[in-house]
Structure 1
Amino acid sequence: MPINTDPLALKQPFKPPILNAHPLTEKTPTEGIWFMDASATRVNGKWRYKATILEITTGKQVIEGEGSAQVGELRAIVLAAQNGAKVIYVDSYAMWAGATQWICQWEALNWEVNRSPVWRTEDCQLLLDIARQTPFKKGWVKVHVNNDQPATKWNQQVDELARIRGIKTGDMLGLEWYRLGEWLHQKLDDTG
């Protein structure tokens, strides 16, 4: 009889190939460290994202496409991983936990959760395949914190680079909605 090595059946924790990164410090070597963020806006009735991935020793890359900010974040993580990132820092808890804690469980469940397909399954599968070939780490950075930590400074820089500026200052109603959205985004720690 074959041995069942399925972690779900064995009730053992999963060990994903994407591990949690240690906090970035002044002494951390910076080669291969990337930060990423994304934002989105509606253009002609469709969501468009702008994502920035910043390899801190060589410069930035900006990608744009159709979809939400979360789609942009996931695409940016995949792009950084494809370009040899050793560590990718994100300020989205869902993007961090998805890769460091949930991705292998999704795979074991045939990319479904409660009989519903995992969101952006193809991108998640690609990310897992890349990590199995070239392991990397992901770190989470708390957003909208004012301190002098290196991760906070880099995260603020990439957040600014990813920001979409589509509101004209003469459009006061649009500007007020923009400010309200920014306030809500910060109050929810980038979860909304």
Structure 2
Amino acid sequence: MLDWIGEFWMDYGSMIIAISAAITLLGAVFTLFKNNSISTKAVDRTDQAERVLLAENKTLSAEHKTLAAEQKILLERTADNKAALGEVQKVVTAIDKRAEMEKEIRETRERLLDPQQFAVKEAVDKIYAMSENWQRLITENAGLREQVVELRHINGQLREQIQNLEIQQDETQSTEEWER
């Protein structure tokens, strides 16, 4: 899931970019009027800055759409996981009922066993419990491995997006410095 910064950027990112572009444009116009020398060079620079800002806005809007699509996919996966969890809960309930029935059967058998038979039964139960425990651990380990691979993939994608955003911010800063 995306953290709160990602959600904030997805919700208000385009608006922030548009406001930044408007503030930059107003600053450029104010400077030109202040110096009382609106020349063709200044107009050309303003037009060029406006084109750069529009291009950046389009790029960031495309990234916003991409992130929104990724969020939609994650939400769909979450819904699928919730449905699967419901099925798992049914199985767990059935297993709990079965365990209760097995417990009742065991208690009845234990009352009917002599001491030697009871000792053998306890040894078999211990071996069975260890076997079930190992099987559970093996199953959990396989599930965790799949989750680690998926999380590594998502982590790589997010790092790549962060690097792309940093590169774009550096380009924006260098463009602004060049305009000055």
TM-score range, shorter chain: under 0.3
Q: What TM-score results when the alignment is normalised by the length of structure 1?
A: 0.22
Higher helix fraction: Structure 1 or Structure 2? 2
Q: Which has the larger radius of gyration?
A: 2
Higher strand fraction: Structure 1 or Structure 2? 1
